[in-house]
């Protein structure tokens, strides 16, 4: 038999009703709450709380909060007035059972309508995201075509200049050849004239042709090249070589690991098969404020390569903007799992992952877990004043919650 809760308190104004129900141990996810225009029920085994309301309320504007063992209702009246009592008086069992059944039917109908509306909204969002991505792709294609056209124009102009320069040089060579021919003709005439004079003069033989020298054949050989080893920009006394080598190996494996077993690659363009291209596409959509489209692009990138921590880190930021807090926690945790071992090259990424997961925990009112992530972020960057300030605020919230519960 359930334990009927009767030690609740309530207050009212002309437009609202405030109900506080103490349920020891009650938490979000473990309590079943039903609220209709005329009936309220909270089932948290072994406790049961139900009220047959004095008048009708506006369910869409009413709010229910569960935390610290207390269930708080803020109910909006459909008609502003002061109620004589919270619940109906002298309600027989048949009426109560009928009201319960009506409440169950209404809740089921509301759930069905919400599911249909959610499906319609999801389709609209997917259609909008597809349209945005197509628009971005079209703009990118136009930009590339303009660049190609500009390059063709420049190449044509340079080719035309080259042809003009060649014609000028050819004309100059013809002029020089003609001048040289005239000079040789003059020399021959002068030589012939000197051969018929009375006082013979020594014949001067001029060698106008110069021998062309041919360069020697080049010798074959080999050149040895030695590459310097890859090192991290850290001092030797602070270097952790095994961990750094392990991190580099993981990064190399992540760039090579492409998991396309469950994808139909025939339906994808060449650039869409590249996780890096999809990551950049997601960044552009995130900057444009289209977080749902960014999530879709990153989902495909992760299906292509699930070893890149930046994909999970960027998707956690999108989920945080969309208020998908549990998914934010999952993606940030996966990014931290891949960002091992901790080395200076991945410090910035680990800091972002801890801050985003801590923010999601705080939004879920899990302040202790959120503070742990912020403290981990401060260990990475102790001089970060923004993270330090947020951590102090979380501590004050936790201290205020503990004092309030005592």
Half-sphere exposure of 71 (CA within 13 A, CB side): 29
Residues with Cβ < 8 Å from 283, sequence gap 6 or more?
Answer: 294, 314
- pLDDT for the residue 233: 56
Task: Summarize the confidence of residues 232-259 as an average pLDDT.
Answer: 65
CA distances from 161 to 28, 148, 153 (A): 77, 20, 12
* pLDDT band at residue 198 under the 50/70/90 scheme: very low
pLDDT at 189 > cutoff 70: yes
> In this model, does residue 353 exceed pLDDT 90?
yes
Decide if pLDDT at 232 tops 60: no
- The H or E element containing residue 396 is helix 385-405
Q: How high is the pLDDT of residue 42? A: 83
pLDDT at 302: 92
Sign of CA dihedral 82, 86, 91, 96: positive
| Cβ-contact 352, 313 below 8 angstroms | yes
pLDDT of residue 199: 43
pLDDT value at residue 401: 62
Q: Check residues 315 and 90 and name the one with the higher pLDDT.
A: 315
What are 303's two structure tokens? 């299906």
Q: What is the DSSP secondary-structure string of 192-258?
A: HHHTTSSS-----------PPPPPPPPPP------PPPP--SS-GGG--HHHHHHHHHHHHHHHH--
Mean pLDDT value across the chain: 82
The strand order across the sheet containing 32-35 reads 3-4, 47-52, 39-44, 32-35
Name the pLDDT band for 309 (thresholds 50, 70, 90).
very high
Task: Please give the angle made by the CA atoms of 352, 354 and 356, to the nearest 5 degrees.
Answer: 65
**C-alpha dihedral, 103 to 106 to 110 to 113, nearest 10°:** 160
- pLDDT of 356 strictly over 60: yes
Q: Which residue has the higher pLDDT, 45 or 181?
A: 181
**Which of 62-76, 82-96, 184-198, 299-313 is predicted with the least confidence, judged by mean pLDDT?**
184-198
Which CATH code is given to the segment(s) 3-79+92-113?
2.60.40.790
- By mean pLDDT, which of 21-30, 77-86, 137-146, 349-358 is the weakest? 21-30
**Do the bridges between strand 16-22 and strand 70-77 make them parallel or antiparallel, or are there none, so unpaired?**
antiparallel
Residue 237 has pLDDT above 70, yes or no: no
204: left (phi over 0), alpha (psi -120 to 50) or beta: beta
Residue 93 confidence (pLDDT) above 90: no
Rg over alpha carbons for the chain, rounded to the nearest Å, is 41
Q: Which numeric CATH code is attached to 270-405?
A: 1.25.40.10
Q: Is pLDDT above 80 for 159?
A: yes
Chain centroid to Cα 164, Å, comes to 53
Measured from the Cβ of residue 377, the count of other Cβ atoms closer than 10 Å reads 25
Region of residue 45 (left: phi > 0; alpha: psi -120 to 50; beta: else) = beta
Interatomic CA distance for residues 333 and 313, integer angstroms: 9
| Structural domain spans, the chain | 3-79+92-113, 270-405
- pLDDT-based confidence at 214, cuts 50/70/90? low
Q: How much is the pLDDT for 45?
A: 80
Is the model's pLDDT at 406 over the cut of 60? no
The mean pLDDT of 73-99, rounded to a whole number, is 83
Q: Up-side HSE of residue 41: CA atoms within 13 Å toward CB?
A: 18
Instruction: Say yes or no to pLDDT of 403 above 80.
Output: no
Higher-pLDDT residue of 58, 204 = 58
Give residues with Cβ within 8 angstroms of 356, minimum separation 6.
313, 316, 317, 320, 328, 332
Say yes or no to pLDDT of 72 above 50.
yes
Q: How far is CA 101 from the centre of its chain?
A: 47
What is the model's pLDDT at position 20?
A: 86
How is residue 106 annotated by DSSP?
A: H
Q: pLDDT at residue 205 above 50? A: no
CA distance 27 to 23: 9
pLDDT value for 193: 61
Percent of the chain predicted with pLDDT > 70: 82
pLDDT at 204: 40
Phi, psi of 290 (to 5 degrees): -95, 80
Helix axes 347-363, 367-380, angle to 10 degrees: 160
Q: Once rounded to an integer, what is the mean pLDDT over residues 104-130?
A: 86
- Per-residue confidence at 264, pLDDT binned at 50, 70, 90? low
DSSP of 22-33: E-TT--TTT-EE
Read off the pLDDT band of 192 (50, 70, 90). low
What is the token pair recorded at 359? Answer: 């923010």
Q: What is the token pair recorded at 123?
A: 């389709």
Asked if 343 and 249 touch (Cβ cutoff 8 Å), the reply is no
Question: How does residue 240 score in pLDDT terms, banded at 50, 70 and 90?
Answer: low
pTM of the model: 0.39
Long-range contacts of 341-346 (CB under 8 A, 24+ apart): 341/240, 341/243, 341/244, 341/246, 341/247, 342/243, 343/232, 343/240, 343/243, 343/244, 343/247, 344/232, 344/233, 344/234, 345/232, 345/244, 345/247, 346/247, 346/309
């Amino acid at each position: 038999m359930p334990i009927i809760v009767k030690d609740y308190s309530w207050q009212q104004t002309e437009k609202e009703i405030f109900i506080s129900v103490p349920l020891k141990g009650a938490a979000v996810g473990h309590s079943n709450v039903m609220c209709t225009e005329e009936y309220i029920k909270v089932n948290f085994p072994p406790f049961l709380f139900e009220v047959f309301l004095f008048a009708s309320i506006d369910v869409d504007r009413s709010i229910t909060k569960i935390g610290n063992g207390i269930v708080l209702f803020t109910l909006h009246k459909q008609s502003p007035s002061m109620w004589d009592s919270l619940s109906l008086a002298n309600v027989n069992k048949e009426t109560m059972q009928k009201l319960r059944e009506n409440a169950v039917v209404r809740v089921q109908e509301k759930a069905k309508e919400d599911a249909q509306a959610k499906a319609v909204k999801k389709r609209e969002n997917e259609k909008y995201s597809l349209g945005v991505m197509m628009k971005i792709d079209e703009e990118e294609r136009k930009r590339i075509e303009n660049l190609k056209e500009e390059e063709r124009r420049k190449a044509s102009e340079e080719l035309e200049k080259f042809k003009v320069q060649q014609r000028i040089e050819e004309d100059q060579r013809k002029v020089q050849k003609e001048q040289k021919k005239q000079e040789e003709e003059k020399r021959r005439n002068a030589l012939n004239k000197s051969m018929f004079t009375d006082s013979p003069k020594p014949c001067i033989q001029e060698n106008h042709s110069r021998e062309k020298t041919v360069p020697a054949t080049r010798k074959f050989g080999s050149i040895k090249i030695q590459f310097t080893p890859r090192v991290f920009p850290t001092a030797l006394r602070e270097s952790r070589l095994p961990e750094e080598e392990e991190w580099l190996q993981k990064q190399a494996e992540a760039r090579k690991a492409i998991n396309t077993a469950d994808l139909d690659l025939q339906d994808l363009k060449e650039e869409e098969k590249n996780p890096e291209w999809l990551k950049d596409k997601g960044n552009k959509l995130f900057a444009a404020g289209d977080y749902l489209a960014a999530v879709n692009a990153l989902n495909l990138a992760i299906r292509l390569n699930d070893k890149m921590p930046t994909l999970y880190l960027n998707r956690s930021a999108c989920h945080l903007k969309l208020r998908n807090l549990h998914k934010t926690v999952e993606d940030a945790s996966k990014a931290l799992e891949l960002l091992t071992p901790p080395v200076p090259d991945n410090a910035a990424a680990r800091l972002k992952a801890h801050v985003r997961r801590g923010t999601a925990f705080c939004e879920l009112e899990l302040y202790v877990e959120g503070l742990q992530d912020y403290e981990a972020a401060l260990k990475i960057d102790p001089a970060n004043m923004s993270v330090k300030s947020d951590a102090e605020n979380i501590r004050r919230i936790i201290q205020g919650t503990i004092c309030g519960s005592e």
